Amino acid sequence: MKIVVLDGYGMNPGDMSWEPLADLGELVVYDRTSAGELMERARGAEALLTNKTVLSGDTLRSLAGLKYVGVLATGYNVVDVDTARELGIVVTNIPAYSTDSVAQMVFSHLLSIVTRVEHYTAENRNGRWSDSPDFVYWDTPLHELSGKTFGIIGLGNIGTSVARIARAFGMKVKAFTSKNPAELPEGVKKVELDELFRTADVLSLHCPLTDGTRHIVNESRLKLMKPTAILINTGRGPLIDEDALAKALNAGSIYAAGLDVLSCEPPRRDNPVLSARNCFITPHLGWATVEARERLLKIAVDNLKAYISGAPRNNVAV
């Protein structure tokens, strides 16, 4: 069986071994694959593995020998699943591999915003503390998390993990979720969406991207938020209307935002949040810890083994 990894660099820039996949067949790994290179590289493969390389319906129909697509991520919108189902192509994803890593990124952003460790480190490297007449200085607001209200939109695996950590910090947790109140973790209160925007000191996004959640953070809802509120997004970029967020930050309508995802990745240079006041942005790193990527690769291998054995697992094209 020929196995082709279309864009392996994002998941494995060289610090992990592809050998477990190579043990399953003839393996070819490409760092990146452009649209113009796709057909030539995919032709003859029974199994394609992709992270962000798009496999449209037309592409799937043109690859007669293709029987399996492994998405190296949880989201699988890069594959035309309806066409794959029609053609009998198995499409698998990687669920729940990065829960702890993404939850950690939420609090990396939050703690960075409320303590500004990087800012003070840079200032001290430039001699500011050494030149200070006092034993201490600060020029940013410093706040405790304990007692604040942490709001969560979406209470799946990651949202639930984030709720647990927020409670460990002594925060009150509210959530907008489809779950019944009886199903919620201990200490989590279910509320309506507008109440969540009005009352949250920190608001973190963990819902899937759908037509109903696209721009769930928009101009009207940003106006509901406290001027001291902090918005965190480690979910999907299009959950936020970025023009509206930039305006709210620059006007001081909300205090800060920590974003690990944007609506277009990599972003255009003119994306307004890149230069917005108190907007802290990381390049979609939440999933990328060594431990999470090792789990991802193991699950990808296990998915392919299950397909080979005739009992596919994590098949989203059913």
Active site residue 143: no
Active site residue 265: yes
DSSP the chain: -EEEES--TTT-SSSS--HHHHTTSEEEE-S---HHHHHHHHTT-SEEEESS--B-HHHHHH-TT--EEEESSS--TTB-HHHHHHHT-EEE--TTSSHHHHHHHHHHHHHHHHH-HHHHHHHHHTTTTTT-SSS----S-----TTPEEEEE--SHHHHHHHHHHHHTT-EEEEE-SS-GGGSPTTEEE--HHHHHHH-SEEEE-S---TTTTTSB-HHHHTTS-TT-EEEE-S-GGGB-HHHHHHHHHHTSSSEEEES--SSSSPPTT-GGGGSTTEEE-SS-TT-SHHHHHHHHHHHHHHHHHHHTT---SB---
Marked catalytic residue, from 236, 242, 293, 295 = 236
Marked catalytic residue, from 46, 284, 294, 313 = 284
DSSP 265-297: SSPPTT-GGGGSTTEEE-SS-TT-SHHHHHHHH
Residue 233 φ then ψ, to 5°? -130, 110
Tell me the β-bridge partners of 92.
70, 315
Marked catalytic residue, from 86, 183, 265, 291 = 265
Active site residue 219: no
Active centre residues (catalytic): 236, 265, 284
